[in-house]
């Protein structure tokens, strides 16, 4: 925010730092270990009187001088140049805080230069003792350079008490100082052997060449083994947060760790081969191959260390985009464009339609370019965001740095976040906003016949859900296609009776659903008073999406005579909005989760949870309930993972925080989930269930109380919308603790409030709740949850059959459907609106 931006695209994203720093630091470690190797080789030549070995030491010192002083010095300057331009805030912090250490390091580096120049140019003019002493002086200066740089580099990952004290010594002797110092010292020794292979291949005397190659092997093998051993000490010395990031939270570390072990093995193997099998046949290309394996070993370690301190450049102080953490609150309040010193004049007055893409480009450079390139080899932003449209990108930016702590949070206003999302999605990826979901309008449905003068029974039917959504692909199953159909048979009389004995209820779903008629029987429920059946049904008629197929229910007596017939809509949909953020298109024409979308979801799950679902799914679909409990599927998961609903809502609430229901709930659930009276009067999901964050907190609090440790991690990322604390939100079990109608309709009167409330037990669920007489189910007269009468024509076909209007059965003088005469008093509950 304080410094101008070095605008890089293809070769941005830290490419130059990664390239220059990895090579420089590899050579810098050689400059330390190689100095000791050089002077000990000279000493061995004097001791053995081997002129060939002495000649090798002289030639190796030339190679050493050119590589460490020429390349090392130039690449060191290049590092300062690149970090000053790409990470100015962290650079200036290191300079200001460690000015004494830098001064001391420059003294040591000057001592290295002077000592090495003297050493190289006095082979034939200085006596042996003094010449060796100069070599040892060089090594001492070099090792103290490592000592000083190690304190500064280690500070960036583990600043320790410096965060509170800002004391030089607290930052320098940080928690990983000693373990990293020993680790790097041993790696310097390994580098001496690796670089020694390169020059040893040119020794003409075979015996000397074999001896030097085996000596280089000993340096390499011993150094690498010591590196591996001290690496465990290094990791163990990490503070808890960095340790967790390095070993558990960062998916990238796992890849780098695999490379570390691979290159460690290759380097050891190369050293052993040099020592035992090929000292006589050793060639320069083979020596370079072993040297490159060592570079891979060192490079993978450096990437592990870098990944371990994400999302920071200086842990818990400066983010990887150079924004100081303590400044975030002010930037979120005022805006990144207002706080940045180098904001273009055209953006100073705010974001407009005309400068929107320019603002997005500047925000990208300000907050993303430090880690991401545009079409380049390092963290290509296009590749990583190709699945998002503007809205999906905005959701990702909302949750960035929370569930995935590897990235810093977006810092700025909501308008700036949306602008950056538009720039990435539309300008960089060419992704237009997704078209609104098309919900087909089903054709008219004909009601079953009913003659109030002749018919002796009334058959009432409803579904347990107003929209039974399902999500099932060839990769995984979240919820299978199923809906529960319920029914009551009522004997019409002056005092009607619920009939359960000596009758049979059957159903038949309209022909054309998946090409065949689905039939079956409803069974008496153990609680009595109703029949029910669970139907596995996919909502497709002749291959066309049909979210409201019709079922015909018949009641027959023991002799097979029809007592009553009715029809009811079976609301089932797989128009889940996963594609909004996970890419892909519909699996079918306007519905279903495609394989591309399903694969991305598995990849995200693997990245966030260190699972192997992408690989497992190739062998067969994964069932989410293998790991997660789910009451509606009567499934018990495994371990301490939150139940399915808590896990999904908890994780998605992180990305959809601050949004209203239309931009949160209905981005995922089918858009025609709410179709009835409540929708007509302007209510939405949040009016009954609570805002997205509050709903997720309620689910997670119940899991937390059940001892599910995973719930606590998600809870920590969510802030309530309706109250000041998470504890003020009642715990909730999905599918069991649902909103209670009487919270708003107190004493069955018109609503006084729209505060969401949990039913105390499953017995209080609307779909299974009965009237005050304990006889008729509420949904039998009012319709299914989310589709309370009046609703769509298909949803209200049953009241049209019995009352002639899309209304609650029994309302407005329609009690005669069951009672044979108009009721003067409210029979089932107060406030029935009897005229």
CATH of the domain at 383: 1.10.760.10
Instruction: Judge whether 348 lies within some domain.
Output: yes
Instruction: Judge whether 686 lies within some domain.
Output: no
The Cα 452–Cα 485 span in angstroms is 25
Helix, strand, or coil here: 513?
A: strand
- Structure token pair of residue 689: 């269930």
Q: For Cα atoms 406, 411, 413, give the angle at the middle one, nearest 5 degrees.
A: 145
* pLDDT tens figures, 5-43: 888 899 988 899 989 999 999 999 999 999 999 999 999
Instruction: Judge whether 64 lies within some domain.
Output: yes
- Name the region of 543 (left: φ>0; alpha: ψ -120 to 50; beta: rest): left
Chain-centroid distance, C-alpha 292 = 34
The answer to whether 291 and 263 have CB atoms below 8 angstroms apart is no
Give the whole-number percent of the chain exceeding pLDDT 70.
96
* 144 and 207 co-located in one domain: yes
The answer to whether 700 and 642 have CB atoms below 8 angstroms apart is yes
Q: Is the pLDDT of residue 454 over 90?
A: yes
* pLDDT tens figures, 742-801: 888 888 888 876 565 666 666 678 888 898 888 999 999 999 999 999 999 999 999 999
pLDDT, position 179 = 96
pLDDT, position 56 = 95
The answer to whether 496 and 819 have CB atoms below 8 angstroms apart is yes
Instruction: Judge whether 782 lies within some domain.
Output: no
**Range of weakest confidence among 149-158, 164-173, 271-280:** 271-280
* 38 and 126 co-located in one domain: yes
* pLDDT tens figures, 402-428: 988 889 999 999 999 999 999 999 999
pLDDT, position 764 = 75
Instruction: Judge whether 723 lies within some domain.
Output: no
Q: Is the pLDDT of residue 515 over 60?
A: no
* 298 and 341 co-located in one domain: no
Task: Report, as an integer, the average pLDDT of 354-366.
Answer: 96
* 127 and 209 co-located in one domain: yes
The answer to whether 196 and 233 have CB atoms below 8 angstroms apart is no
The Cα 536–Cα 574 span in angstroms is 13
Backbone φ, ψ for residue 291 (5° rounding): -60, -40
Instruction: Judge whether 436 lies within some domain.
Output: no
**Mean confidence (pLDDT) of the chain:** 91
pLDDT-derived band at 834 (thresholds 50, 70, 90) equals very low
Instruction: Judge whether 808 lies within some domain.
Output: no
Task: Report, as an integer, the average pLDDT of 144-160.
Answer: 96
The answer to whether 697 and 718 have CB atoms below 8 angstroms apart is yes
pLDDT, position 466 = 92
The Cα 291–Cα 300 span in angstroms is 14
- Residues in contact with 246: Cβ distance below 8 Å, sequence separation at least 6, in sequence order: 235, 238, 253, 304, 307, 308
* 248 and 312 co-located in one domain: yes
- Residues in contact with 110: Cβ distance below 8 Å, sequence separation at least 6, in sequence order: none
The Cα 547–Cα 150 span in angstroms is 64
pLDDT, position 835 = 37
* 166 and 310 co-located in one domain: yes
Q: Is the pLDDT of residue 273 over 50?
A: yes
The Cα 350–Cα 359 span in angstroms is 9
The answer to whether 718 and 654 have CB atoms below 8 angstroms apart is yes
Q: Is the pLDDT of residue 74 over 90?
A: yes
Q: Is the pLDDT of residue 442 over 80?
A: no
Last residue of a domain, one of 573, 596, 619: 573
pLDDT, position 514 = 60
The Cα 436–Cα 391 span in angstroms is 12
Place of tokens 């309530």: 720
The answer to whether 320 and 14 have CB atoms below 8 angstroms apart is no
Q: Is the pLDDT of residue 283 over 80?
A: no
* 314 and 341 co-located in one domain: no
Last residue of a domain, one of 542, 573, 604: 573
* 424 and 473 co-located in one domain: no
Last residue of a domain, one of 573, 607, 624: 573
pLDDT-derived band at 610 (thresholds 50, 70, 90) equals confident
Instruction: Judge whether 234 lies within some domain.
Output: yes
Q: Which residue has the higher pLDDT, 815 or 1?
A: 815
Q: For the whole model, what pTM was predicted? A: 0.88
* 30 and 95 co-located in one domain: yes
The Cα 343–Cα 822 span in angstroms is 75
Query: What are the Cα distances from residue 536, in Å, to 114, 507, 572?
Result: 83, 13, 10
The answer to whether 736 and 631 have CB atoms below 8 angstroms apart is yes
pLDDT, position 833 = 60
* 99 and 153 co-located in one domain: yes
Domain that holds residue 98: 15-318
* 347 and 303 co-located in one domain: no
CATH number at residue 496: 2.60.40.1930
Q: Is the pLDDT of residue 674 over 60?
A: yes
The answer to whether 317 and 408 have CB atoms below 8 angstroms apart is no
Tally the domains of the chain: 3
Helix, strand, or coil here: 483?
A: strand
Burial of 695 (0-12, 13-18, 19+ CB in 10 A): buried
* 92 and 220 co-located in one domain: yes
């Amino acid at each position: 925010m304080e410094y101008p931006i070095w605008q890089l695209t293809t070769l941005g994203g830290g490419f130059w730092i990664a390239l220059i720093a990895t090579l420089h630091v590899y050579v810098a470690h050689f400059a330390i270990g190689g100095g000791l190797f050089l002077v000990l080789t000279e000493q061995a030549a004097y001791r053995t009187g081997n002129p060939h070995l002495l000649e090798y030491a002289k030639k190796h010192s030339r190679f050493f001088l050119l590589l460490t002083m020429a390349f090392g010095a130039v690449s060191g300057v290049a590092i300062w140049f690149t970090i000053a331009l790409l990470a100015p805030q962290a650079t200036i912090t290191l300079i200001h805080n460690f000015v004494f250490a830098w001064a001391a390091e420059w003294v040591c580096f000057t001592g290295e230069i002077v000592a090495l120049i003297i050493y190289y140019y006095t082979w034939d003019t200085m006596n042996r003792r003094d010449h060796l002493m100069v070599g040892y002086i060089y090594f001492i200066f070099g090792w103290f350079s490592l000592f000083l740089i190690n304190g500064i580099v280690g500070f960036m990952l583990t600043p320790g008490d410096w965060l509170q004290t800002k004391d030089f010594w607290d930052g320098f002797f940080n928690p990983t100082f000693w373990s990293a110092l020993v680790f790097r010292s041993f790696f310097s020794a390994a580098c001496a052997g690796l670089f020694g292979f390169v020059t040893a291949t040119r020794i003409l005397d075979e015996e000397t060449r074999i001896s030097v190659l085996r000596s280089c092997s000993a340096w390499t093998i011993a150094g690498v083994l010591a590196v591996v051993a001290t690496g465990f000490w290094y990791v163990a010395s990490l503070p808890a947060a960095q340790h967790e990031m390095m070993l558990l939270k960062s998916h990238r570390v796992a890849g780098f760790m695999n490379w570390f072990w691979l290159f460690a093995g290759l380097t050891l193997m190369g050293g052993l081969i040099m020592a035992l099998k090929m000292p006589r046949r050793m060639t320069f290309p083979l020596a370079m191959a072993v040297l490159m394996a060592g570079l891979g070993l060192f490079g993978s370690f450096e990437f592990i260390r870098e990944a371990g301190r994400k999302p920071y450049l200086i842990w818990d102080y400066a983010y990887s985009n150079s924004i100081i953490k303590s400044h975030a609150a002010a930037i979120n309040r005022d805006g990144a464009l207002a706080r940045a010193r180098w904001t273009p004049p055209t953006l100073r007055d705010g974001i407009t339609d005309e400068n929107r893409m320019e603002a997005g480009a500047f925000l990208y450079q300000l907050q993303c370019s430090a880690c991401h390139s545009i079409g380049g080899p390092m963290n290509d932003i296009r590749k990583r965001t190709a699945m998002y449209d503007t809205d999906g990108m905005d959701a990702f930016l909302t949750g960035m740095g929370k569930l995935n702590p590897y990235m810093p949070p977006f810092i700025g206003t909501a308008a700036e976040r949306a602008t950056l999302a538009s720039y990435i999605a539309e300008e960089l990826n060419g992704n237009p906003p997704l078209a609104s979901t098309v919900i087909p309008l089903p054709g008219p449905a004909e009601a079953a016949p009913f003659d109030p003068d002749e018919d002796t029974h009334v058959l009432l039917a409803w579904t347990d859900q107003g929209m039974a959504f399902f999500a099932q692909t060839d990769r995984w199953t979240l919820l299978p296609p199923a809906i529960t159909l319920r029914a009551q048979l009522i004997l019409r009389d002056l005092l009607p009776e619920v009939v359960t004995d000596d009758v049979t209820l059957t159903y038949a779903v309209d022909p054309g659903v998946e090409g065949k008629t689905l039939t079956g029987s409803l069974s008496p429920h153990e609680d009595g008073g109703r029949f029910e059946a669970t139907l596995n049904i996919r909502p497709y008629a002749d291959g066309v999406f049909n979210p409201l197929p019709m079922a015909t229910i018949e009641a027959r007596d023991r002799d097979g005579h029809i007592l009553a017939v009715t029809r009811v809509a079976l609301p089932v949909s797989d128009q889940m909005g996963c594609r909004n953020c996970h890419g892909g298109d519909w699996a079918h024409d306007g519905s279903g989760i495609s394989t591309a979308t399903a694969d991305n979801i598995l990849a995200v799950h693997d990245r966030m949870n260190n699972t192997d679902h992408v690989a497992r799914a190739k062998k067969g679909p994964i069932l989410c309930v293998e790991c997660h409990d789910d009451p509606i599927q009567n499934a018990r998961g495994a371990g301490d993972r939150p139940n399915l609903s808590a896990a999904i809502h908890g994780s998605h609430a992180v990305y959809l925080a601050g949004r209203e229901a239309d931009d949160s709930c209905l981005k995922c659930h089918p858009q025609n989930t709410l179709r009835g009276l409540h929708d007509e009067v302007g209510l939405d999901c949040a009016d009954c269930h609570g805002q997205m964050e509050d709903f997720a907190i309620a689910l997670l609090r119940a899991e937390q109380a059940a001892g599910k440790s995973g719930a606590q991690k998600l809870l920590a990322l969510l802030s309530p919308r309706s109250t000041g604390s998470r504890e003020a939100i009642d715990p909730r079990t999905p599918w069991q603790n649902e909103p209670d109608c009487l919270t708003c309709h107190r004493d069955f009167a018109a609503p006084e409030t729209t505060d969401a409330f949990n039913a105390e037990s499953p017995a209080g669920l609307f779909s299974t709740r009965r009237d005050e007489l304990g006889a008729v189910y509420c949904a039998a007269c009012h319709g299914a949850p989310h589709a309370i009468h009046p609703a769509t024509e298909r949803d209200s076909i049953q009241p049209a059959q019995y009352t002639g209007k899309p209304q609650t059965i029994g309302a407005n003088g329609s009690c005669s459907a069951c009672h044979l005469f108009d009721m003067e008093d409210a029979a089932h509950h107060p406030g029935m609106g009897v005229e």
